[in-house]
């Protein structure tokens, strides 16, 4: 037994010596031929660039310095017939030697000096297009890949780990630029110096565009080993940091004083990946014609995030918090791809004092709320769930819970003016039109009791059936609107109530901006929930101001313009006509044939709307008997605008000194 053990020991020692000699010879061979091997590798890369991308890859000089340091000079990459993409004067790096022996190449230190990356798009194409072309895969590989379900947690964690493993411990970049040319738009980001030393990051960047130049600083802490970071981004000069390219490309002006990003942890717990941290921005400004006509400013915004990623979902957990100014809420966002594709959004606010909420509204976004005062508090919740396989089961629930909420003083929008006489000025393409006096002094103004019940019921049915019962908004209308817009993949249906249309017309402009829509929502809430006006008065004002044709406003003018009669005498067919042209009143003439008869699609609209009214007991069957067979007669001056020939018609309407319509349309 002892003899066998001794033999085993001797064999083990001999094997160890052989392996040691093998590694020694490998190391000696590597050091003896490493420069030859390096240049062979560069030659191989050059051939690959030529054969795969029709691109020239050249290196002026490459050699090893010390045990594991490589120095490469004059690296140039030029696609055939295109601008140079890469030009690097000097690159020096050292790899982790023992990892390299096992073919795991990790950069330990990196120095990059004097060079640039140049991305160009012009009328001849893009100089980087050749690197975006993917090789076609055979059907077998595609089937193999598609049959295997993606595990989001594993994919993201593997990607993050791979990226962090490649980040050097020590980095020094000097005078290296990223140049971007998009036709006439040019941006240059010159890294004057980027240093990562002992996990401390320091960066100085000169930014030059067609519209501005700035000096950015990015400083902080970054540890790839511990997966943590705390980095601040700000302007070294006076003024805000501006975001390049978007101002010229999208006419979007943005800026901020500083941004801070924190990464606290990246952890894999079982089958779930968790990423936690925070981000904040101070004095953030944004200006775009689709957002607001003014600069929108948020003094301070903070995002504490907690992302959870599983095998079949990616989510922002409800423990996350978004704060801007003094407003805070907890969002929950989730995308799930198995067994069904499901999108989910939930929002929960903390208990918020009404005055703090008003004070926190971003400047430039809620201009009509300046000077408003309130007391009490509220909480708000929103739930949205959409299953791609069951779109009609979409969930949309919005709930505001009030605690002694009361408006003490109104801002610039004096909502109480609805209860008295006032002047309404319509806005058309940002231009004010002739003023409309809302009151008895206007000969066309018509009180509610002098308007045909047919017309009132037709408009309520088509525009807002539950107007007299809701508080400004209808969740089900929003839900149905979202379902239809998703199905049609475009904005084909809105969810505007009569209350919203009234506020938009009387107190706001017709501009299509986010600011206007948000103000509309809040003003409607204030109007409806503080009982500033009765529903009957709101409906009466609505009928007396809305547009019903070219330069035709209010039911008094509309009745005369189309039918040469008072609103009280409108028939069912005339009321159906007026109700159905509200969405596009200036195009009323296209509802008629050349002989003056109503087109088939308009008749179908009348039938559809009247059938609904019968089902809701707003009409009796006898009301509709034979009315569709009767020709709709346009007896007012609108008849001159119905196209009966190729003659062009002047669609302006002239009013006399008393505000009465004059028959002055000319051919």
Q: What is the 3-state secondary structure (H, E, C) of 395-413?
A: EEEEEEEEEEEEEEECCCC
Beta strands at 170-182 and 107-122: parallel, antiparallel or unpaired = parallel
Mean per-residue pLDDT of the chain: 83
pLDDT value, residue 237: 86
CATH code at 505?
Answer: 1.10.3810.10
pLDDT at 140: 42
Instruction: Give φ, ψ of 465 to 5 degrees.
Output: -60, -30
Residue 327 CA to its chain's centroid (Å): 20
Domain-embedded: residue 484:
yes
Question: What is the separation of C-alpha 171 from the centre of its chain, rounded to a whole number of angstroms?
Answer: 36
What is the 8-class DSSP label of residue 289?
A: T
Residues 314, 360: contact at Cβ < 8 Å?
A: no
With H, G, I as helix, E, B as strand and everything else as coil, classify residue 199.
coil
Is 397 within a domain? no
Indicate the pLDDT class of residue 371, thresholds 50, 70 and 90.
Answer: confident
Give the pair of three-digit tokens for residue 476: 């089900």
Three-class DSSP category at 8: helix
Q: Would you place residue 40 in the very low, low, confident or very high pLDDT band (cuts 50, 70, 90)?
A: confident
184-198 in b/e form (b: 16+ CB < 10 A) is ebbbbbbbeebebee
520 lies in a domain? yes
Number of domains in the chain: 1
pLDDT grade, residue 370 (50/70/90)?
Answer: confident
pLDDT, tens digit (0-9, with 9 covering 90-100), for 284-328: 999 988 888 889 999 999 999 999 999 999 999 999 999 988 889
For residue 652, what are its two tokens? 């302006």
Mean pLDDT of 522-543: 89
Instruction: Tell me, yes or no, whether 656 lies in a domain.
Output: yes
Q: pLDDT tens across 151-186, in order?
A: 888 889 888 888 887 788 888 999 999 999 988 888
The pLDDT of residue 130:
85
Query: Does residue 457 sit within a domain?
Result: yes
Contact (CB, 8 A) for 115 and 89: yes
Mean per-residue pLDDT, 587-597 = 86
Q: pTM (2 decimals)?
A: 0.76
Which of 564, 543, 346, 531 is closest to 463 using CA atoms? 543
Q: Residue 31's pLDDT is what? A: 52
Closest listed residue to residue 523, CA positions, set 381, 301, 358, 312: 358
Burial class (CB in 10 A: 0-12, 13-18, 19+), 217: middle
Whether 652 maps to a domain, the answer reads: yes
Report whether pLDDT(661) > 90. Answer: no
Spatial separation of the C-alpha atoms in residues 54 and 47, rounded to whole Å? 10
- Owning domain of residue 534: 413-662
Three-class SS state of 163: helix
Residue 493 maps to a domain: yes
Contacts 24+ apart (CB under 8 A), 179-182: 179/116, 179/117, 179/118, 179/119, 180/119, 180/245, 181/118, 181/119, 181/120, 181/121, 181/122, 182/121, 182/245, 182/249
Residue 143: what pLDDT?
Answer: 41
Q: Which residues contact 194 (CB under 8 A, 6 or more apart)?
A: 171, 172, 173, 174, 176, 201, 202, 203, 204
Write down the pLDDT at residue 648: 38
pLDDT for the residue 232: 95
Token digits of residue 393: 């089961």
How remote is the C-alpha of 607 from its chain's centroid? 40
Give domain status of residue 621, yes or no.
yes
């Amino acid at each position: 037994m002892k003899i066998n053990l001794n033999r085993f020991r001797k064999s083990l020692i001999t094997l160890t010596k052989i392996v040691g000699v093998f590694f020694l010879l490998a190391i000696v061979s590597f050091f003896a031929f490493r420069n030859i091997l390096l240049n062979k590798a560069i030659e191989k890369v050059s051939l690959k660039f030529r054969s795969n991308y029709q691109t020239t890859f050249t290196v002026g000089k490459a050699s090893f310095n010390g045990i594991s340091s490589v120095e490469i000079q004059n690296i140039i990459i030029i696609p055939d017939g295109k601008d140079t993409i890469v030009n690097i004067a000097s690159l020096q790096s050292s790899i982790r030697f023992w990892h390299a022996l096992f073919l795991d190449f990790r950069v330990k230190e990196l120095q990059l000096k004097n060079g640039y990356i140049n991305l160009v798009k012009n009328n001849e194409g893009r100089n980087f297009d050749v690197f975006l072309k993917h090789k076609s895969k055979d059907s077998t590989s595609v089937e193999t890949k598609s049959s295997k379900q993606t595990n989001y947690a594993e994919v993201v964690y593997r990607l993050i780990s791979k990226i962090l493993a490649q980040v050097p411990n020590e980095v020094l970049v000097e005078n290296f630029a990223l140049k971007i040319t998009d036709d006439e738009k040019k941006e240059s980001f010159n890294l004057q110096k980027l240093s990562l030393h002992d996990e401390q990051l320091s960066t100085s960047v000169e930014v030059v565009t067609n519209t501005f130049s700035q000096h950015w600083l990015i400083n902080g802490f970054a540890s790839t080993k511990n997966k943590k970071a705390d980095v601040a981004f700000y302007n070294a000069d006076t003024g805000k940091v501006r975001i390049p390219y978007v101002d010229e490309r999208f006419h979007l002006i943005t800026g901020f004083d500083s941004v801070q990003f924190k990464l606290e942890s990246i952890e894999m717990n079982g089958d779930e990946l968790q990423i936690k941290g925070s981000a904040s921005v101070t004095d953030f400004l944004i200006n775009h014609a689709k957002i607001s006509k003014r600069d929108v400013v948020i003094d301070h915004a903070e995002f504490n995030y907690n992302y959870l990623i599983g095998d079949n979902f990616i989510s922002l957990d409800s423990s996350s918090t978004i704060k801007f100014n003094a407003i805070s809420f907890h969002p929950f966002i989730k995308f799930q791809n198995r067994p069904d594709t499901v999108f989910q959004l939930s929002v929960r606010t903390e208990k918020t004092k009404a005055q703090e909420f008003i004070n926190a509204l971003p400047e430039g976004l809620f201009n009509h709320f300046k000077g408003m005062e309130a007391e009490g508090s509220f909480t708000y919740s929103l739930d949205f769930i959409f299953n791609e396989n069951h779109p009609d089961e979409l969930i949309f629930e919005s709930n505001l819970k009030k605690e002694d909420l009361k408006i003490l003083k109104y801002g610039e929008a004096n909502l109480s003016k609805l209860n008295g006489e006032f002047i309404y000025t319509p806005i058309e393409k940002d231009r004010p039109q002739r003023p409309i006096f809302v009151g008895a002094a206007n000969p066309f103004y018509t009180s509610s009791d002098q308007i045909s019940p047919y017309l009132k019921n037709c408009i309520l049915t088509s525009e807002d059936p539950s107007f007299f019962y809701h508080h400004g908004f209808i969740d089900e209308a929003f839900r149905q609107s979202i379902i239809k817009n998703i199905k049609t993949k475009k904005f084909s249906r809105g969810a505007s109530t009569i209350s919203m249309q009234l506020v938009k017309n009387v107190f706001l402009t017709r501009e299509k901006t986010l600011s206007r829509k948000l103000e509309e929502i809040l003003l409607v809430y204030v109007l409806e929930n503080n009982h500033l006006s009765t529903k009957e008065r709101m409906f009466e004002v609505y009928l007396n101001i809305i547009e019903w044709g070219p330069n035709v406003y209010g039911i008094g003018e509309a009745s005369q313009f189309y039918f040469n009669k008072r609103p009280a005498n409108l028939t069912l067919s005339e009321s159906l006509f007026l109700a159905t042209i509200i969405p596009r009143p200036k195009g009323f003439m296209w509802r008629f044939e050349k002989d003056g008869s109503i087109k088939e699609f308009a008749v179908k609209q009348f039938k559809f709307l009247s059938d609904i009214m019968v089902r809701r007991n707003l009409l009796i069957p006898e009301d509709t008997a034979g009315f569709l067979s009767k020709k709709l007669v346009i007896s007012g001056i609108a008849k001159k605008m119905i196209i009966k020939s190729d003659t062009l018609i002047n669609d302006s309407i002239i009013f006399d000194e008393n505000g009465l319509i004059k028959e002055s349309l000319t051919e």
